[in-house]
Amino acid sequence: MTRRVDGPGPAEGVPGRGVIGAAAGMALGFAGWFGGFGAFLVVAALGALGWFAGHLVDRGTGLREFLDSLVGRRP
């Protein structure tokens, strides 16, 4: 799937990966600065969990279907 970009800025009103990565980096930076290394790890772990959940939703995969594929069971 390709998308046509007419100019600078987000395509179809959706922020690009660079913007999302910058926001995640700033959140981790603030957590590390104000909360210390423990807060940095908590924010990083929750961010990874959120990314994973969003990835499943984007692919249209349910959690049960994903877990079944991990253990090798087919529906």
> What is the number of domains present in the chain?
1
Q: Tell me whether residue 1 is in a domain.
A: no
Q: Tell me whether residue 14 is in a domain.
A: no
State which amino acid sits at residue 73.
Answer: R
Phi, psi values for residue 42, rounded to 5°: -65, -45
How many residues in total does the chain contain?
75
Q: Which domain holds residue 66?
A: 37-70
Alpha-carbon torsion (18, 14, 28, 67), positive or negative: negative
pLDDT tens column, 4-52: 555 555 556 666 767 777 888 888 888 889 999 998 999 888 888 888 8
Q: Tell me whether residue 42 is in a domain.
A: yes
Report pTM. 0.58
Local structure of 6: helix, strand or coil: coil
